[in-house]
Structure 1
Amino acid sequence: MSAYADQRVLVVGGTSGVGLAAAHEFAAQGAATVIASRSPERLQTALTRLSGLPGPVTAQNLDMRSDEEVEKFAASAPEFDHVVVTAGETPLGRVDTLPLADAYTAMDSKFWGAYRIARSVPVRSSGSLTLVAGYLSQRPGRASALQSAINAALEALVRGLALEYAPLRVNAVSPGLLRTPLWDGLDATARENMYEAAVQRLPVGRVGEAADIAQAVLFLTSNAYTTGTTLYVDGGGMIA
């Protein structure tokens, strides 16, 4: 029997990309998995894609940018064994050109959203909380100062929470470039050129997939001796 067969897991942002891949892995191993998103349409699409797995999957409409919604959900939710936060929108753009309103929204979405979940949602002390940040925290680009700052803040939050919430284990996964729907808004040619440049640069010789990060998430949720850690899954991007 899988270690997750009798466990409850919440994946915030579980409708696409890393979140969907993580939800699939948990449900495939028998966990009762709840996927949360602010988009009812995406929730229904994700439920269809996750149907037929050993573990039951249910959906929760939740906007983690809202104090009221998160607190209302937390007040009625049962304790989870594991909570994973993958959601958050962080637009690219130079500090001097990115509108301040967009910068505030990004911080509210990815950092404060994770903070709200960590603050309110009940998790068993024997379980885990895992946040998804990004390797830009350590390897900033020319138009990603905001993303770098938000991801670094998430990683610092993890270290603090690991002490405050002990023995609950709190960790982060920081991915490198991934082939996910995050880039669907980019021109197809520009997107493929970006991927090809990464293939040439990265020691692993390929672009990451959402499944690569899902595997890292499940390592952190299952390893009882890991807390306060940021696991970089970037294909060698930090050293390339």
Structure 2
Amino acid sequence: MTSLTNQRVLVIGGSSGIGYEVARQALEAGAKVTIASRSEQKLAEAASSLGDVETAVLDTGDESAVDSFFARKDAWDHVVISAAQTPSGPVRKLSLDDARRAMESKFWGAYRVAKAARFTERGSLTFISGFLSERPSGSSVLQGAINAALESLGRGLALELSPVRVNAVSPGLIDTPLWAKMEETSRSAMFERVAAGLPAKTIGQPSDIANAVLFLMTTPFATGSTVRVDGGGVIG
């Protein structure tokens, strides 16, 4: 495994959840970390907790902003994309506007970054997808399709951008602030119910996904891969 010491790491969506944990672990590994998101306030709060990180307000939905950001920055050793907002629901009940917003956020946002980002020769790009790409849900059809498209994009880019390495990490249910809007009792009951049905018998934590991201960042032979970290959700 290669060292992250003094490597320049950009974590888009690094102000909370999985992205925050990736940033924290990369810092611990000696990297020079920049976290980016749309919210200046969330970035400031995350930076206060993380310590020695740079911050950047960046909306991956704004093509000109993405292009401008990468044009004025030096090449990155590693870029991780964890930012996305994906409304969910059955296809026949989810409005087309919501469906377009979901695709715009998670797929096209990542596409814009991949198109504009500049990497060092042996750099890496890592997407965060989701296990619904392999185990569809009748109530989250679009999310599964978006995740599958993102993973396919990663495999193609691994060829196009070579020797830059491109991979994806596919999480199962992870206990992140995404679920904070749910009433606590309902959230706990859902986590317990899902955990009971998984081979791992537990819900994932952001650190579980960050471990996989750092593995991909520091393993020179890993490219075009999707690493599933889902507690056995696909096989369960």
TM-score normalised over the length of structure 2: 0.97
Which of 74, 80, 83 is the matching residue for 2:79?
83
**1:190 and 1:160 mapped to 2: Cα distance?**
40
Equivalent AA in structure 2 for residue 230 of structure 1: T
Cα deviation digits, residues 164-196 of structure 1 (max 9, x gap):
011111000000000111111223222112101
What is the aligned partner in structure 2 of residue 176 from structure 1? Answer: 172
**1:97 and 1:41 mapped to 2: Cα distance?**
34
Uncovered stretches (5+) of structure 1, i.e. residues with no partner: none
Equivalent AA in structure 2 for residue 67 of structure 1: E
TM-score normalised over the length of structure 1: 0.96
**1:192 and 1:182 mapped to 2: Cα distance?**
14
Cα deviation digits, residues 106-156 of structure 1 (max 9, x gap):
111100000000100111121110000000001111210010010000000
Q: Does structure 1 residue 19 correspond to structure 2 residue 15? A: no
What is the aligned partner in structure 1 of residue 189 from structure 2? Answer: 193
Q: How does 1:68-147 map to 2 (within 5 A)?
A: 68-147=64-143
Displacement, 1:49? 1.1
* Identity among equivalent pairs (%): 49
Equivalent AA in structure 2 for residue 85 of structure 1: I
What is the aligned partner in structure 1 of residue 42 from structure 2? Answer: 42
What is the aligned partner in structure 2 of residue 7 from structure 1? Answer: 7
What is the aligned partner in structure 2 of residue 225 from structure 1? Answer: 221
| Residues 15 and 109 of structure 1, relative CA distance in 2, 3 Å threshold | same
Displacement, 1:57? 0.7
**1:173 and 1:110 mapped to 2: Cα distance?**
14
Classify the secondary structure of the residue corresponding to 1:129: strand
Equivalent AA in structure 2 for residue 14 of structure 1: G
**1:194 and 1:111 mapped to 2: Cα distance?**
27
Displacement, 1:83? 0.4
May I ask how many residue pairs the two structures share in their alignment? Answer: 235
Which of 57, 82, 85 is the matching residue for 1:61?
57
**1:182 and 1:137 mapped to 2: Cα distance?**
19
**1:106 and 1:124 mapped to 2: Cα distance?**
31
**2:76 and 2:36 mapped to 1: Cα distance?**
13
Cα deviation digits, residues 213-235 of structure 1 (max 9, x gap):
00000000000001000000001
Which of 208, 212, 218 is the matching residue for 1:216?
212
Classify the secondary structure of the residue corresponding to 1:102: helix
Cα deviation digits, residues 74-96 of structure 1 (max 9, x gap):
11011110000011111221111
Uncovered stretches (5+) of structure 2, i.e. residues with no partner: none
**2:50 and 2:111 mapped to 1: Cα distance?**
27
Classify the secondary structure of the residue corresponding to 1:177: coil
Contact (CA 8 Å) 1:78, 1:122: kept in 2 or not?
Answer: yes
Equivalent AA in structure 1 for residue 123 of structure 2: G
**2:159 and 2:119 mapped to 1: Cα distance?**
15
Classify the secondary structure of the residue corresponding to 2:33: strand
Displacement, 1:200? 0.6
